[in-house]
Amino acid sequence: MSWSKLQQQLESFLSPALKGRVEYRATSYRYLLDKSGTCHIAVDQKNILNMSDKNNAIRWYQSEQEIKSDPEFYVPVGPEDIEAVRKSAKGPIPEDRLKVMARSKKAGEQAKALMSAQASLTKSNFVAAANKFLTTPIEESLESPDILPNILALMDRRVGKKRIQNLSEQIQTKHPIVRYFYELRRDA
């Protein structure tokens, strides 16, 4: 599918509140064979997400430790997580220490998942990911571990206000760029 047709389809699925504010842009280089071009998602005429540039306005993590030490990084710890740590430990451990251990373990798992999603975004082809988004159910895109399907689904008109509000806890564990687009849609 050509870029202009894909762009029209993506923009036709935009939420009415975001029409005119969010744009999908692509740049191609006609005479450079090794340059495939770049794709951007722009909000209010400003490039927010450039697939190949880590110098965006949104924070890109360099290591798992950076994610763990980020004060905005949210890790929900439930009783089942604490129980799993209790079972794996050999001997009695104070309850408050169990919570810290469970949070640390879960934070490590989420940090690895975020780093993996961020790495796949920088390598991904926007056109291929957008085509896949257009052919998959919206629920699958919202629950995807990848960043780009999450962003496209959050801006989609098929996701209503109630569903956006119900996603607030789930979004806290996502990459900052996904949280940015979630807040943009929620506040629109």
Q: pTM value?
A: 0.68
Pairing of strands 46-50, 22-27: unpaired
What percent of the chain is predicted at pLDDT more than 70? 81
Task: Give the pLDDT band of residue 34 (cuts 50, 70, 90).
Answer: very low
For the chain, the domains span: 3-62+116-187
Q: In angstroms, what CA-CA distances link 142 with 149, 152, 171?
A: 7, 9, 10
What residues have CB less than 8 Å from 40, skipping those under 6 apart? 24, 25, 26, 27, 47, 48, 49, 50, 51
Q: pLDDT for 12-21, tens place per residue?
A: 888 888 888 8
